[in-house]
Amino acid sequence: MKNIIFSIGASFISISVLPVQAATEHKNFNAVLQCRAIENNKDRLSCYDKSIQPTRTKVAEKFESRDQCPDEKDDDRRLSCYDRFFSPTFTPSVNSKSKTEKPVTTEAQQPNLSEISKCRAENDKEARLKCYDKLFPQDKIVKAESKLEKATDVGKWHTSITTSPIDDSKNVILSLESDDYIRTPFGEAVTPTLFIACREKKTEVFLSWDVYLGLEQTSMLYRLDKQKAVERNWLVSTDTKAVFYKGNDIDFIRKLANSSKMYTKITPYNESPVSATFNLNGLSNALKPLQAACNWK
């Protein structure tokens, strides 16, 4: 009798564990990384769906988390969701069809941080600028149709304007290298870069240090001009090498635009503190296309 009760109990426990294991496997996003190299959209989506079983239970108005991807009902939007949070690693080919149609600006993918890091590592200024221009090509269609006022003095800010593959809105990304470089634990010299972005009408600020910062969030100090230094928690990016501002991004950007310099200091995981200074001059002019794209009030 005891053996029977034990057998039933063991079966109940094993059955109860199955949904937990299934949920864990359902959200195992590590399995999708190999799919990023597949250029064909249909095959790439099939790879994603095999890696993470889709539920097809919702239609999201806006993708804010990779957890939404498996739940998206529409195949094209589900692929767009995966491509947003897992940047494809292939180089899109130009075929005869794309030559006869409008430039494929709606298919443009945002460069990932590893590609940006290669540009920052380039010592020659002219070569580094060419590298950035290749990563952030100007959308000629947007440029021709746009009535945005041409910025006069944008300082050292670089601007990228492309078309969102998700909702066809303008994606505007501003980037600014620091005045100095830092050393990684392996002795490599890297240049921290500040980014201000409007993507799918969402404004965000993040700073790429290109060194391992830990998980989830970390503390970073910043000081604008002669103001009192502020130390607060920033969210760590998924690649663990950048931090996102945690708070009202637009208010923070306005403070940056009213300043000429920002000093920053952070402590990489298990390492000594590193610091970087950014020359913010020209930001007010550089912000104009971003403000229009994100409908700032």
* Lowest-confidence region among 51-60, 148-157, 211-220, 254-263: 148-157
User: Structure pTM?
Assistant: 0.52
Residue 174 has pLDDT above 60, yes or no: yes
204 or 92: which leads in pLDDT: 204
Residue 11 has pLDDT above 50, yes or no: no
At 102 the pLDDT is: 40
Q: Which of 68, 79, 83, 294 is nearest to 169 (CA)?
A: 294
Residues 6+ apart with CB under 8 A from 117: 190, 208, 210, 241
- pLDDT over 70, % of the chain: 76
Q: What CATH number belongs to 107-293?
A: 2.60.40.1880
Q: What confidence tens digit (pLDDT) does each residue in 110-127 have?
A: 566 677 777 877 777 778
State the pLDDT at residue 139. 57
pLDDT top residue among 61 and 254: 254
Burial of 289 (0-12, 13-18, 19+ CB in 10 A): buried
Q: What backbone torsions phi and psi does residue 182 show, to the nearest 5 degrees?
A: -125, 165
Closest Cα partner for 260 from 285, 281, 283? 281
Is pLDDT at 21 greater than 80 in this prediction? Answer: no
> pLDDT tens across 147-156, in order?
454 447 899 9
Q: Is the pLDDT of residue 259 over 70?
A: yes
Confidence of residue 276 (pLDDT cuts 50, 70, 90): very high
Instruction: Name the more confident of 4 and 255.
Output: 255
In terms of Cβ atoms closer than 10 Å to its own Cβ (0-12, 13-18, 19+), residue 209 is: buried
**Residue ranges per structural domain of the chain:** 20-96, 107-293
Mean pLDDT of 253-263: 97
Phi, psi of 56, deg, nearest 5: 50, 50
